[in-house]
Amino acid sequence: MSNRLKSIEHEIIKCMKCGNCQAVCPLYKETRAENAVARGKVQLAAAVLGGKLDYTAELAHRFDLCLTCMACVSNCPCGVRVDRVVLEARAALAEKRGLPLPHRVAAAGLARPALMQMGMKAAGVTQKLLFKRGERGMSPRFPVGLDLKRVLPALAKKDLKEQLPEKNAVQNPVMRVALFAGCVTNYVYPGVGLALVEVLNRHGVEVVFPKEQHCCGAPLLIHGIKDTAKEMAASHVHMFDAAGVDAVVTVCGTCGEAFRHHYPELLSGRAKDAGKALALSGRTYDIAEFLTDIVPLDHTLLGPLDTHFTYHEPCHVGRGLGAAGKAEKLLKAIPRATYSPMQDPGRCCGGAGSFSFEHYKLASQVLDRKLSDISGTGAGVVVTGCGSCRIQLNDGLAQRKMPQRVLHTVEMLAHSITGAREEGNYNGRQ
């Protein structure tokens, strides 16, 4: 019996098999397969725990098929933390079966910041050789493990660490915060980090940007690589403690969740890290939470934007951090901007980190419903709060030849505050 699954037995036995999760599971909607839905996964975990099932490749595949979108968790009358069951099952499977080679390679890179930096620079060069540039991004020239029609963003010429100073001071600051950028913001959308500094500086908030920061570890955790994720958590806990800031601000729900929820859990058994992990957890905020609850958005700073927009709520901002609706409220304050809500802003887009890379067809089917929602709003801009969702939405919009641009919440606010119209173009910073 796996100790890992034993540790979440209390979640497994809470399930009363009511099937409420079926109604909200984006993968069940596409596959109609019981083992794709939360109830089926919980029963699979119960069967392994009871010794009726072994750690087979088929079982690994079943647990792979989950977006960790938490829609089931929000809709479960028994409060079953299906996300925890799935993550522990993946960790147990990784221990018993070993990791697939691509996961081992990715984990080795993400866990070593210097290697990651070198790898991303090399990827920037090879992307130009292996991909061709289109209107909305880059598509593979050859089958490099990706669908040939897939559209991905170009890697940034200069990543955020190269563009943003460590200290972004203001006179008489009302607060001092640290930015945790995350990999997608650092390497793909550095404009999001620049926008955050611009918006917070205008609110009298000093922003420090610890340059030693690295991947939050969530991608490893999601693939069951728990021990390495634990070391990455410990590294950040001490780094951000040493920064001596009042708060840590994130621009990605998954990173925010890692800091707030996963780090204290991962480090709870380590005396030298546990207290600091809890303290960090208590002062980490997504930017939408920060501008709602900590330093409220100053409406007098906002300038008019003649924009018609809609908003996609990332799963890990809305359900993961419990911040649903906060970004929408901020964005609605922008003068002259027209907001048309989509039918279900919190429905998963299918991106889910690496899920869309590993299960492109299924992820695209999930995305298709979101694209129809977007189309129904008539909006010209889709705002969201997560880089991974942005990559997924941008690909779908390209596939369907839809004209909408995708922006991060904080970029839209920066545009309103500074009058800039292009990403990254704040106060002349590029």
Is 310 a residue that touches ligand SF4 (CB under 6 A)? no
Q: Which stretch binds ligand SF4 (CB under 6 A): 71-79, 131-139, 275-283, 298-306?
A: 71-79
Interaction between residue 13 and ligand SF4 (CB under 6 A): no
Q: 34 to 53, contacts with ligand SF4 by CB under 6 A?
A: 37-39, 41-42
Residue 177 touching ligand SF4 (CB under 6 A)? no
Of 78, 53, 52, which Cα lies nearest the Cα of 63? 53
- Name which of 25 and 406 has its Cβ closer to ligand SF4: 25
Q: How far apart are CA 220 and CA 228, in angstroms?
A: 7
Residue 250 beta carbon to ligand SF4: minimum distance, rounded to whole angstroms: 21
Report the residue number, 18 or 115, with the smaller CB distance to ligand SF4.
18
Kindly report the CA angle at 271 between 236 and 260, in degrees rounded to 5? 40
CB of 89 or CB of 287, closer to ligand SF4: 89
Query: Which DSSP state fits 36?
Result: G
Task: Calculate the CA dihedral of residues 186, 190, 196, 202 and round it to 10 degrees.
Answer: 130
Please provide the DSSP assignment of 240-254 as one string.
Answer: HHHTT-SEEEESSHH
Q: How far is the CB of 30 from ligand SF4 (least distance, A)?
A: 10
Q: Does 85 bind ligand SF4 (CB under 6 A)?
A: no
Cross-strand pairs, 284: 248
* CB environment 66-75: b (16+ within 10 A), e (fewer): bbbbbbbbbe
Question: Does 295 engage in binding with ligand SF4 (CB under 6 A)?
Answer: no
C-beta separation of 219 from 257 below 8 A? no
365 near ligand SF4, judged by CB under 6 A:
no
Q: Is 20 in the site for ligand SF4 (CB under 6 A)?
A: yes
67's tokens? 């977006």
Contact flag: residue 17 with ligand SF4 (CB under 6 A): yes
CB atoms within 10 A of CB 387: 26
Residues 80, 93, 116, 374: which binds ligand SF4 (CB under 6 A)? Answer: 80
Task: Tell me if 179 contacts ligand SF4 by CB under 6 A.
Answer: no
d(C-alpha 106, C-alpha 44), whole Å: 27
| Footprint on this chain of ligand SF4 (rule: CB under 6 A) | 15-21, 24-27, 37-39, 41-42, 66-72, 76, 78, 80, 82-83
